[in-house]
Amino acid sequence: MLQISALLLLLFVMLSLAALCLGAIHIAPSDVVRAIVCALSGQMSAPSEEELILFSVRLPRILFAGIVGASLSLGGVVFQALLRNPLADPYVLGISGGSALGAIIGIVLGASSLYLGVPFLAFSGALITVFLVFIVAGGPRGVLLDNSLLLAGVVVNSFFSAAILFALSIVNSMELHSISFWLMGDLSRVALKEIAVAALCLVACCAILCMQARKLNLMVQGEETALQLGVNVRATKYILLIVTSLITSVAVSLAGIIGFVGIMVPHMMRLVFGSDHRLLMPAAALFGASFLVVADTLARIVIAPAELPVGVITALCGAPYFIFLMRRKGRD
Q: Is the dihedral of CA 41, 43, 46, 49 positive or negative?
A: negative
Q: Could you tell me which residue, 192 or 20, shows the higher pLDDT?
A: 20
Burial environment of residue 118 by CB neighbours within 10 A (0 to 12, 13 to 18, 19 or more):
buried
As a whole number of angstroms, the distance between CA 201 and CA 325 comes to 30
Are 217 and 287 a contacting pair, CB within 8 Å? no
Q: What is the pLDDT of residue 79?
A: 86
Rg of the chain over Cα atoms, rounded to whole angstroms, equals 20
- Which of 43-57, 139-153, 178-192, 218-232 is predicted with the least confidence, judged by mean pLDDT? 139-153
At residue 69, the pLDDT reads: 94
pLDDT in tens, 235-286: 888 888 888 888 888 888 788 888 889 888 998 899 899 889 999 999 999 9
Reported as a pLDDT band with limits 50, 70 and 90, residue 144 is low
pLDDT of residue 18: 93
**Mean pLDDT estimate for the chain:** 83
d(CA 258, CA 250): 12
The residue-averaged pLDDT of 169-173 equals 75
Percent over 90 (pLDDT), the chain: 23
Q: Which sign, positive or negative, has the C-alpha torsion 252, 257, 262, 268?
A: negative
Residue 126's pLDDT is 79
CB distance 64 to 190 below 8 Å: yes
Q: Taking the CB of residue 197, how many other CB atoms lie within 10 A of it? A: 19
102 alpha carbon, distance to own chain's centre: 17
Three-state DSSP state, 36: helix
Model pLDDT, residue 140: 46
In angstroms, what CA-CA distances link 260 with 96, 229, 230, 316? Answer: 11, 34, 34, 9
pLDDT in tens, 92-131: 778 878 888 887 888 777 777 777 777 788 778 877 887 7
Asked if the model's pLDDT at residue 137 lies above 80, the reply is: no
Residues 284 and 30: their CA atoms lie apart, in Å, by 31
pLDDT of 183 > 80? The answer is no
Q: Above pLDDT 70, what percent of the chain? A: 91
**Is domain 2-20+48-331 given the CATH code 1.10.3470.10 in the classification?**
yes
Please report which confidence band the pLDDT of residue 327 belongs to, taking 50, 70 and 90 as the band edges.
confident
Please state the domain extents for the chain.
Answer: 2-20+48-331
Cα distance between residue 80 and residue 89, in whole Å: 7
Residue 137 has phi, psi (to 5 degrees) of -80, -5
Give CA–CA dist 68/45, Å, rounded: 32
Mean pLDDT of 299-322: 85
Tell me the pLDDT tens digit for each residue of 3-26: 899 999 999 999 999 999 988 888
Which residue, among 259, 241, 296, has the nearest Cα to 100 in the 3D structure? 259
Contact 132, 157 (CB under 8 A): no
Task: Give this prediction's pTM.
Answer: 0.87
- CA distances to 14, 52, 54, 254 from 38, rounded to whole Å, are 19, 13, 13, 31
Residue 171 has pLDDT above 80, yes or no: no
- The residue-averaged pLDDT of 294-300 equals 93
